[in-house]
Amino acid sequence: MKRSNKQFKKRSSIKSSFFFAKLLYLGAFLLAIFFLSNTVRSIQLTIEKLVILDQAKVDVEELRLSNLKLLNFSNLVKSDFYVELEGRNRLHLSQEDEFVIIIAEDLLNSSELDTYYRTFLPVEKSVVLPVGLKAWLEFVVEGV
């Protein structure tokens, strides 16, 4: 019986070491799958972050462009030219030797605009210049 007990222990030891080896291989396999899935997930997150980063770069460039446009517009707004232009257009202001004409939108695109505009212009007087001896006599008598 001693032999059979020894053989049983030996067989049991072999079976348990075989079971332990399979369990160890299964654990290593599961651990490899875990690391592989985490690596794939990490790669996916990195790709998503790169896409977000590229979109952010595009947004930054658009914001820089709009910032430059606003900077140019602010320089224009600060100029005397813009103040005068807005005073003329919005407030209908004019300088001393000018006058303001407000034209209706429907008249702007019509052919009657020229005649409408001429009604506001001062009428020029035609000057008839004397000729010959009469002109010289007026010049000597009246002067310039």
The model's pLDDT over 66-91, given as tens digits with 9 standing for 90+, comes to: 999 999 999 988 998 888 888 887 88
Domain boundaries, the chain: 1-75, 79-122
The model's pLDDT over 37-55, given as tens digits with 9 standing for 90+, comes to: 999 999 999 999 999 999 9
Q: Please spell the DSSP secondary structure of the chain, one letter per residue.
A: -HHHHHHHHHHHHHHHHHHHHHHHHHHHHHHHHHHHHHHHHHHHHHHHHHHHHHHHHHHHHHHHHHHHHHHHHHHHHTSHHHHHHHHHHTT----TT-------HHHHTSTTHHHHHHTTSPPPPP-PPP-THHHHHHHHHH--
Per-residue pLDDT at 4: 57
The model's pLDDT over 87-143, given as tens digits with 9 standing for 90+, comes to: 887 887 888 887 777 777 777 677 776 676 667 666 666 666 667 777 777 777 887
pTM of the model: 0.43
Per-residue pLDDT at 118: 66
Per-residue pLDDT at 1: 46
